[in-house]
Chains A and B, each alone.
Chain A
Amino acid sequence: MTLDRRSFLKLVGAGAGAAGAVSLPMIGQAAELMPKSGKRVVVIGGGYGGTIAAKYIRMMDKSIEVVMIERNDHFVSCPFSNLYIGGIMTDLNALTIKYDKLAANHGVKVVQAEVTAIDPAAKSVTTSKGTISYDRLVVSPGIDFRLDEMKGYDTAAMEKMPHAWKAGPQTILLRKQLVDMKDGGTVVMTVPLAPYRCPPGPYERASMIAHYLKANKPKSKIVVLDAKPDITSKGGLFKKGWKDNYEGIIDYRPAKKVTEVDAKAMAVMVEGLEEVKGDVINVIPPQRAGQIAVAAGLVGDDKNWCPVDATTFESTKQKGIHVIGDACIAGAMPKSGYSANSEAKICAMNVVALINGKETTELSGINVCYSYITDKDAVSVAGVYTVKEGKIIAVPNSGGVSPADFSAAKTEALYAESWLKNILTEMST
């Protein structure tokens, strides 16, 4: 999902509208877009979580009508987009899916529209094309940015200092800036405090940018300003990978929290104290659940992420609404594409059970995540998840990261390619 200026303004408007919709009586609302006759689940979002929830509900129970609402007519995967930024992939085609086969193969009704409000009491979603009512709602909106914590990073600044943390035009922009940069230039990347989408993502990106610089602009370097005190995901592997491949190219600086940007001066400020200038600046801002989840009152006390039941992914804030993927708090399951895929299936199975008044099933989930260090070496983290005392935990004595000596890195790069092929095929067929 991309966030250009127009859709961002729409979203801000949506936030205000949603607050109104909840408190005002249902008078003068937009027309029903598709009147409901039988059981219906509405899914918001056509990414790693939404597509799978929609497909699996239909696979499990054809008597349930599934309507998936997505603002775009396609989806571009964030996983592997760092390979495009590093020049290893030449376009985004292999990362792009469409929804026509979800409709043809599974009867998912895909509505291309912007969701502007959710009314949990009326069990209805307001979209740019009209309202759609539901029996249960699955919200998989991904992330939005906490721009109030990054002074000066407005939509105009995003065009000069791309985040590229939602794949699409922003990804292409960051790649173009790297290609256009003079040799001897400095790339600056800022990394927020956890939690954020894809914990190892920034470090894979630093690797891919360094890979590009090493081969094409050897006098250049990348400065990573990390708000965290250390690399918290695959840390040992990234450090070894950088030492072996990118010594003198990646300048990693922990505990440097960027709070302000100056797009005109092409500079970022570390907590108002230290200014760092760059020729290309990739700002990865602090994040929260997608705007619609915030507007619908699905976020918890932290005002950022959505607390959910560990069996059904039903919101603990609003009955009948389930939240999956990056937007939800899934205990030990990280904010990754594979987690979203796994959560969507768990949620789908239990949504079907709840709608039919049947017994729900305890969670069993997986996360598998690869990060490329070079064009031919990748490292992984894998985990199996279960529920204990109402919380999602990793199964003890299982899971973990690749061997520290990189003995599996070439093989894992080959497996990673099939990871992408399979997960995107799952989402689009």
Chain B
Amino acid sequence: MIMKWRGWALATGVLAVSAMAQAAPPTAAMLSNACAGCHGTNGGSAGPTMPSLAGQSKEAIEVAMKKFKSGERPGTIMGRLAKGYSEAEVTAMAELFSKQKLHITTQTLDKAKIAKGASLQESNCGRCHIEDGKEGKDDTPAMASQWLPYMQMQMADYLSGKRKMPEKMKEKVDPMSKEDIEALLHFYASVK
């Protein structure tokens, strides 16, 4: 029995040496697994201020990372981390997260605000936030079931001018009341 094990160990040892000599460059899984400590396993976040990446489009993640890297989008650690990856590595991670199913969150939301948001969203935001926010046009992020506190923090950055709003979004958001905006965020957070 011991001999058998030794023989097996020797065989795998040989394999290990030959494999180690030619370790492949980091794969999409190798790269994106490291993000999951903060963004959740497979990009499904359990933390209310941390966005889920699962189900975001490739373009949305690529553009977000590019803007974090350049400093155009305000961030805390994301700017510092984005600088650690090449464009090709970002694309590999973005592709992987885009193939995950949208992460469904369970959060406490206001029913009246959801209803109000539902009445506002199609005519105001629906052209870019497609399918009740389950999808996004071009690099527009998916908003469905995203964490409310995360979206509120981002909207505060938009409204204060810290984060630059896309022109088309600005046209719609500028005339809205704070209550309307809040209602829209509750609506998107509620979509399952």
Contacts and interface: CB of A to CB of B under 8 A. Distances in A.
Interface of A: 26, 55-56, 59, 121-123, 135, 309, 311-312, 314, 319-320, 338, 341-342, 345-346, 349, 353-355, 357-366, 368, 380, 382-384, 386, 394-395, 397-400, 402, 408, 411-412, 414-415, 417-423, 425-426, 429
A311 B22 CA distance: 11
Contact of A362 (B12, B26, B35, B38): B26
Nearest to B39: A422
A361 B84 contact: no
B30 A422 contact: no
A362 B48 contact: no
B77 A422 contact: no
Contact of B80 (A309, A399, A420): A399
Contacts of A121: 6
10 nearest CB pairs, A to B: A418-B47, A384-B84, A398-B84, A398-B83, A418-B50, A364-B26, A425-B46, A421-B47, A366-B34, A395-B84
A123 B49 contact: no
21 contacts: A55-B41, A121-B6, A135-B8, A342-B34, A354-B12, A357-B15, A360-B24, A361-B25, A362-B26, A364-B89, A386-B26, A395-B85, A398-B83, A399-B83, A402-B76, A414-B153, A419-B47, A421-B47, A422-B46, A422-B47, A422-B50
Interface residues of B, number: 46
B33 interface: yes
Interface string B29-54: 11101111111110001111110000
Nearest to A346: B30
Given A364-B34, A382-B80, 6 more contacts: A56-B33, A362-B23, A368-B38, A384-B81, A418-B50, A429-B41
Contacts, number: 165
B76 A411 contact: yes
B161 to A, nearest CB: 15
B76 A412 contact: yes
Contact of B30 (A349, A394, A395): A349
Contacts of A418: 38, 45-50
Nearest to A357: B15
Nearest to B42: A59
Contacts of B27: 361
B19 A358 contact: yes
Given A123-B5, A338-B37, A360-B20, A417 B30 contact: no
* Main secondary structure on A side of the interface with B: mixed
A123 B149 CA distance: 49
A422 B40 contact: yes
Contact of B26 (A359, A363, A400): A363
B16 interface: yes
B9 interface: yes
A345 B15 CA distance: 21
B2 interface: yes
Which among A59, A135, A358, A418 has the greatest number of chain B C-beta atoms within 10 A?
A418
Contacts of B37: 338, 341-342, 366, 368, 419, 422-423, 426
Contacts of A394: 84
